[in-house]
Amino acid sequence: MRVFELERPGSVRVGVRAMPSAGALLRVETTGVCGTDHHVFGGRIAVPTPCLLGHEVIGRIERLARADGIVAEAGVGVGDRVLVAPSVPCGDCEGCRGLGRCLDRPVYGLTMAGDGLTGGFSPLLALVPGTRVYRVPERVPAKRAVFAEPMACVLSALRKAYDAHYAPPATDALVMGFGPIGVCAAVAIAASGGDVTVLEHDPERRSLALELGFAALAGAAQTPPRGYPLVIDSAGTPAAFASGLELLAWGGTLVEMGNYADLGAVAIKPSDICLRDLRVIGSGETLYDDFPPAIRLVAETPVALEAAITDVHRFDAMTEPSLLFTARARGKALIAFAS
């Protein structure tokens, strides 16, 4: 099986891996290229190498047996189109035994070591026991469906900040950074009835925000002095986090989703958090309950998510897979596989 392997930081190569003779298999339709993949490629997040990247995976069940231990919606079977939840509980750590959240979870495309088909940069994905899969409607095009995994990340962050209703109705928000997470954050807030303003320094991504129907600013100086009740930082820089605190209204909430890698430190004033009754919510884990609502949201939103897919790479046609990371996408990039 031809695959794209991370050989070492800064290099993704074409490799060959054996197709397993037993166990559950997914035939991959499309895999999104995530900001986390960029951090791994850049050496900012350590992973075992060689590694198959790719954790935003949509595909069809190719092979599934009762003994495979796949945790799925009732009746999911061979031929069904599904999203794969990237992480799998280990079943043995303190979190699994008592906290209800795995603290040592293997993740497709990131931490699963070995020579198997363990990431989405491959036409087939081997589904290990304990994997969660969720149906994706046939009517949802791949350019929408691929947003479901990052949307689930956003919904989980909002759940941690508020509750299972995600964002309070009609809550206006500032979204800092308009990469894929910023796109999903804007869509989620708009779905709750809130007005979304995007703060994005890159003119092409700012243009994309306007194209999708959101207000867009080039700099913090254009923001209102009263601040925002909700700021979602998806810009991916420590400086953006500090700016986000300053842009909150009194009693506001900052949801931090941009700094998934250690990009350094930044000075903040803790007194601002205290004296202005601010809340800071970090979110690194995606909760399983948020995948079905994420799939529904990307299927039903009137926002033209397809327009945010700006780079489609045909797996069979790519000979230099490092270009997935060395050429910056205006919006979101994905890998498309032959049906």
Query: In the structure encoding, which two tokens stand for residue 305, read together?
Result: 């998510």
Which residue type sits at 45?
I
Query: In the structure encoding, which two tokens stand for residue 155, read together?
Result: 């919904």
Q: How far apart are CA 257 and CA 43, in angstroms?
A: 19
Q: What is the pLDDT of residues 304-315, one digit of tens each?
A: 999 999 999 999
For residue 100, the model assigns a pLDDT of 67
Query: In the structure encoding, which two tokens stand for residue 33, read together?
Result: 């290229």
Q: What is the pLDDT of residues 239-261, one digit of tens each?
A: 999 999 999 999 999 999 988 88
For residue 41, the model assigns a pLDDT of 94
- Domains of the chain, start order: 2-136+304-336 (3.90.180.10), 151-282 (3.40.50.720)
Which residue type sits at 338?
A
Q: How far apart are CA 90 and CA 138, in angstroms?
A: 31
Identify the segments of the chain with pLDDT beneath 50: none
DSSP string spanning 161-197?
Answer: HSBTTBS-TT--EEEE--SHHHHHHHHHHHHTT--EE
182 contacts 204 by C-beta, under 8 angstroms: no
Residue 13 phi/psi, 5-degree rounding, is -120, 160
Q: Which of 32, 6, 49 is nearest to 120 (CA)?
A: 32
């994005």: which residue's tokens?
200
Q: How far apart are CA 193 and CA 195, in angstroms?
A: 7
DSSP string spanning 9-49?
Answer: TTEEEEEE-PPPSSSEEEEEEEEEE-HHHHHHHTTSS---S
Which residue type sits at 196?
V
């002095």: which residue's tokens?
225
